[in-house]
Amino acid sequence: MSQNTCEQCAGPALTIGELNERSKSLGMFVQPDGTVIAPASHRSEAHALENLKGFRCAKCGGVYCMGCILSSAPSHANGGKACFACRGHYQLLPG
């Protein structure tokens, strides 16, 4: 299993497939867009898992995790979050 690393925090940046594998063992379910569905009792685990979701910049190829993007990525001029390095758009990690 190939694992991508967030260039901001050096933590894991998971693909949807990898998120799925992790969530299954915790009794949770991942939607195709990476949203983690979990019972109320697992809300915090689901949130922690979502923060590991990986994104790749469409422009420079930089890889980042959801947690870093949500907490400190710059805003994009067209809305949403922009790449730390080049202000490009993010896309979900393939796989």
Q: Which residues contact Zn ion by CB under 5 A?
A: 6, 8-9, 11, 57, 59-60, 62, 65, 68, 83, 85-86, 88
d(CA 34, CA 92): 8
Question: CA angle, corner 79, sides to 48 and 72, nearest 5?
Answer: 40
Least distance from C-beta 23 to Zn ion, angstroms? 19
CB nearer Zn ion, residue 39 or residue 61: 61
CB nearer Zn ion, residue 3 or residue 27: 3
Least distance from C-beta 93 to Zn ion, angstroms? 13
Question: Residue 31 class from Cβ within 10 Å (0-12 exposed, 13-18 middle, 19+ buried)?
Answer: exposed
